Amino acid sequence: MSLLWKPNANAPLWDAADEDESDGPFFDYLELAHIRQSGPTCVPTTLAMLARATGANVEPEDFMPLINSQSPHSWSKALAPYGLQLAYCNNDLRRLEYYIDELTDYDDLFLLCFYSQDPPYEPDENGKLCTAHIVTLHKDRIIDTAKSDQYANGKASDYHRLARQTKRIFRVVPKGHARCV
C-alpha cells in the first residue's frame, strides 16, 4: 500500500464542528468587567472575572483553593458551576500576533496564555520553566488583569504583548460542550 500523505502545518484554531456540535459564538452576551490582579494571580483573577460575568459574587480567592495554576483541567472544573468550561484550541509556539486576526474573527470568548519572556528548554533549579501570563479575549477586546492602563481593556490588535510566544489558547465553551477540557 502506498501512502501519499503530507502533514498540514496550518490547522485552524478551532476545527469545523461536527453536525451535532454548535460552533458558537457562545458568549457574545457576556459583559466582562476588568478585575485588577494582586501579585501573581492572573489565573484565579481571570476565572473570577469570567464567573462574575455570569452573575456570580466571587473573588479570585474563591478560586485559589480549587485550581493549580499549571493545570488547565482544574481551571475548567472550577468554571463549571458557572456554566462555563474550557476547550483547547490548536496552537503552537508562534507569537500571539500570528493568531489574533483568526481569534477575533470567531467573535467569541477565549483565554490566551503566553510566555512573559523567551522560554528556555529546561526548568531552573526551583523547577520553574519561566513566567507566563493569561489574558481574556472577548470579541475584539483583550482584558489584562495585570494592567490598569489602556491595556487593561483595549482593542486586541493594539495589545502591546502580541509579540510574545503562545503557551496555550482556550475557547470558553458552555458546560458540557463536547470539547471541554
pTM above the 0.85 mark? yes
Domain ranges of the chain: 42-174
What is the predicted pLDDT for the residue at 77?
Answer: 98
Radius of gyration of the chain (CA): 17
What is the predicted pLDDT for the residue at 137?
Answer: 98
Per-residue tens of pLDDT for the chain, all 181 residues: 567 888 887 788 998 777 777 888 999 889 999 999 999 999 999 999 999 999 999 999 999 999 999 899 999 999 999 999 999 999 988 999 999 999 999 999 999 999 988 876 777 788 777 789 999 999 999 999 999 988 899 999 999 999 999 999 999 999 999 888 8
Backbone angles phi, psi at 144, to 5 degrees: -115, 110
Burial 91-119 (b: 16+ CB within 10 A, else e): beeeebeebbeebbebebbbbbbbbeeee
- Looking at the domain that runs over 42-174, which CATH code has it been given? 3.90.70.10
